Amino acid sequence: NHQHPTRRLSTHKQYTSREPQTTTMVDSTPLIPDGKEKKEGHRVLCCCDSRKAVIILNVLALALTIASLIIRLVDNQYFATWTIILYVLYLFFYSIVAWGALQFGKLAVEWGIFWSIVDMIWTSVYLARNSGWMVEGSLNRTATIVGYSIFYVFHVLIIYANWTYVSEVGKGIMSRETHSREKYSCCCNV
């Protein structure tokens, strides 16, 4: 019963050489990232990645819009048709933008940028046409100025986050495939 010499070397019982055995493994799968890739995307206000910022800011805006609507309903304030339409538009756009970012979509967030700019222009025109009531010594003048200042700052933050996200999606930095590399949060990394 004669065995081939290479077979004799491959079995442990018949291997008698004192040199160490080496095994070379060949893997045909593509390279898998080791998770040490550097983040390429922007950190919005040094706080979180652009996708998370879009979702958080638009959900916050949605919650504030709902709260404002509830306050106006509780106070039995008069609602003109344009006010109802405006609230519906707010609810629609903030919801669509947050959903779009959750789905790694770009178009919905672009529409959110458009809506925020239109809303700021619309509000500015309204304030310019109706500024007399603020100058005439209204009791709520300071509160009104502070309220509109917060409105503008918040909208600028939303535009900034949305623009950053759209830019990163367009460049391929933020996507489903790269999200694990790009996700960032100063307080929670979900």
Q: What is the pLDDT of residue 62?
A: 94
Quote the pLDDT of residue 81.
78
Query: In whole angstroms, what is the distance from residue 169 CA to residue 182 CA?
Result: 11
pLDDT at 25: 52
CB 50 within 8 A of CB 178: no
N-terminal to C-terminal alpha carbon distance within the chain: 65
Residue in the structure block whose two tokens are 């999200």: 179
Cα 180 from Cα 35, distance rounded (Å): 8
Render pLDDT for 83-112 as a digit per residue (tens, 0 to 9). 888 888 999 999 999 999 999 999 999 999
So what's the pLDDT on residue 52? 87
Residue 84, both tokens? 């109802």
pLDDT of residue 20: 60
Question: In sequence order, what are the residues at sequence separation of 6 or more whose Cβ sits closer than 8 angstroms to the Cβ of residue 49?
Answer: 39, 41, 42, 43, 174, 182, 183, 184, 185
